[in-house]
Structure 1
Amino acid sequence: MNTKTRNIIGWVLTAILAFAFFASASMKFMGGADAAKSAAAFGLTPEILKMIGVVEILSIILFIIPRTGLLGTLLLAAYLGGAIATHLEHQLPIFAPVILQCVVWVTATIRFPELSQRLMGRTATV
């Protein structure tokens, strides 16, 4: 795969992730009866739910910016790890956070070749 195709795929996947995380965060900010009911089932107050939304937004913004993308990757991975653990704790399906986690890592390895090199144990070619 050439560099141009790799960049296009990386940015398209980044846009999909940004849409998903911004939509999720906006639902946390908007509140509503359904969001409050879901949060209460997890033992979360509306204030904590809004803080989680802030963490989501900050993480995806860091992921989008190329210079801070690796930090954003780690923060999104940690966030989604918490989501998976919470879903498991409450006997909910884990498909959505697991799929998002996979898309985050695939996107990160496409956008950041140095991450791919580290994960695959390859040395950088000079």
Structure 2
Amino acid sequence: MHTAETSVSKSAYRAGWAISGLLILFLAFDGAIKLVPLDIVTQTMGELGWPTTASMARTLGVLTLACTILYAVPRTAVLGAILLTAYLGGAIATHVRIGNPLFSHTLFGVYLGVMAWGGLYLRDERLRALIPLGR
């Protein structure tokens, strides 16, 4: 919970929510298009070596949305970040396995993970107490 007495400024706290908000919006969109699923979703899944069935796309969409919702709720945000990290690790492994470009595809999951943990670090005093960077 953020209070005026915390060790992070209001601007850092707001920046944390801004970063987290962008991530939440992106992942909500990503999960939603997998629920439909759009043709581009199943086509891309096939290129990545995943089954192209609607049920597989929906399963991934539900997983994405569930982890994102947990991340968005302050009480469960740390659990959500842990689960998102695991999910993104699977995406990274998929891109490594098929030899996709490093910076644009393979490390995209790392970029999202840094956003998740960085945003959470700025907005959650419990995480800053657990990992006191710069002290």
TM-score (norm 1): 0.85
Q: Are the counterparts in 2 of residues 39 and 46 from structure 1 also a CA contact under 8 Å?
A: no
- State the alpha-carbon separation in 2 of the partners of residues 28 and 2 from structure 1: 37
Query: SS in structure 1 opposite 2:83?
Result: helix
Compare relative contact order (CA 8 Å, sep 6+) and give the higher one, 1 or 2.
Answer: 2
Q: Which residue of 2 aligns with 1:56?
A: 64
Report deviation, 1:11: 1.2
Q: Which residue of 1 aligns with 2:55?
A: 47
Trace 1:1-126 onto structure 2 (pairs within 5 A).
Answer: 2-41=8-47, 42-44=49-51, 45-92=53-100, 93-120=105-132
Query: SS in structure 2 opposite 1:99?
Result: helix
Unpaired stretches in structure 1, ≥5 consecutive residues: none
Letter of the 2:24 counterpart: A
Higher-helix-fraction structure: 1
TM-score (norm 2): 0.80
Question: Percent same amino acid among aligned pairs?
Answer: 26
- State the alpha-carbon separation in 1 of the partners of residues 64 and 39 from structure 2: 21
Instruction: Provide the aligned C-alpha RMSD in A.
Output: 2.1
Unpaired stretches in structure 2, ≥5 consecutive residues: 1-6
